[in-house]
Amino acid sequence: DNVNRISTLRKKDFPITDHNHGKARVRVLKVDKSSSVHKVYEYTVQTKVWSPKYELAFSKEDNTDLVATDTQKNTVYVVAKRTKANSPEQFGLDLCLQFMNEYNVLTAAEATVEMCQWERSIVDGERHEHGFEKHSPEMQVAVVKIDRKGDDDDSATGEGYTTSVTSFIQKMTILKTTQSGFEGYLKDKYTLLPETTERCVATELDCTWTYTLDQDGMTASFSELDYIDIRSRIRELLIKGIFGPAKGGVYSASLQATIYDAACLILEDEELACVHSVKLYTPNLHYLPMKSLEMLGETFEDDVFIPTSEPSGTITCTVCRE
C-alpha cells in the first residue's frame, strides 16, 4: 500500500550545499562515411546537469521536470547522429548546447568527453580506407560546461550562455634514451640517488590547456576554434620540446626544466594564440640502470635497464600568459 509507505528516516532537514546528477560511461562510436576513406571517433562520455529546482528531488521527493540520467544517455547518441562529433571539444559543446536548448529548467550542463586513438591500418604500404588498429593508451579529452546567463532570447545561438572548455591529452607515454641528467639537488643523510648526466627518462604525460577567446582585440567563440588542429599542434610541440631535433636531440637537465620549456613553446607559438594556459603532469616511469651486470661478468654501458613505475616521482607545472 503506497499510502502508508515510509520513505524517510530523518528527523531534521539540513541545507544542501551542492547537487547535480548525470550519466557516466556512455560509450559511442561515430563512423564518418562521407567518403570512401572512413573516419572513426570512439568516445566515453559523462554528463552532468544543474538546476536549483532539482534540490526538491533530494529534499522533497519531487522529480518534477527532472531530466533523467537515461534521457541524458539517449541524448548523447542523438547528438552523435546529428553532428560531426569529430573532436571531444566540439562533441561536448554540441551536447551541452542540446541540453540547454531543450530544457529551460537547466541552469548548466557539463560533458566530459574522452576519445581513444584509432590508427588507420597499413596494407601493402598503403593506408587502408576502412581498417583501423588501436596501438596506444593515449586519450584525447575535453571538459565542456555551459551556464545559462538568464532568460535570454539568444540562447539557441549560444549568446545567452557562458561557456568554458578545457582540453587534455592523457597517458601520452614517452621515452628518451639519452640526453638527460639530474644534478645539483639537495643531499643529506636520506639521499641515496647518485647524480648523473646520462640516463633514460620516461613519463606517462598528461597535458591540460585552457583557452582565451580575446585574441588581438578580436573576440571569437568556442564553436569557431579548430580543435583538431590545435590538439595536433600542441602534441607536435610537446614532442619537440621534450625530445629536441630529430638528430642530436636536446639535453634535459631535469624533467622539470624540460616540461617548462615545452609549455613555453606552446604559448609562444603563433598558431596557438587561443591557448591561455598549459599544465603538464609527468609521473616518472623509471628505468633503473642494471649496474649489477658487473657482478655477472658484464659491463654496464647505459644499455640494460630495469623498468619500474613504483614508486613514482610526480612533477607538475602550470604555465600561463601574463
Catalytic site positions: 23, 69, 286
Helix (H, G, I), strand (E, B) or coil at 81: helix
| DSSP calls for 131-184 | EEE-----EEEEEEEEEE-SS-TTGGGTTTEEEEEEEEEEEEEEEE-SSB-B-S
Look-up of cell digits 541552469: 107
Stretch (H or E) spanning 205: strand 201-211
- Report d(CA 300, CA 294) in Å as an integer: 7
- Report d(CA 306, CA 304) in Å as an integer: 7
Q: Which three cell numbers stand for residue 193?
A: 640517488
List C-alpha distances in Å: 104 to 124, 149, 162. Answer: 55, 12, 15
**How crowded is residue 147: how many other Cβ atoms within 10 Å of its Cβ?**
17
Stretch (H or E) spanning 186: none
Contact 44, 25 (CB under 8 A): yes
Instruction: Tell whether the torsion through CA atoms of 88, 91, 94 and 95 is positive or negative.
Output: negative
Q: Which three cell numbers stand for residue 247?
A: 638528430
Q: What is the DSSP letter of 35?
A: S
Tell me the Cα Rg of the chain.
25
Among 312, 262, 261, CA closest to 286? 312
Contact 275, 209 (CB under 8 A): yes
Q: What is the DSSP letter of 3?
A: G
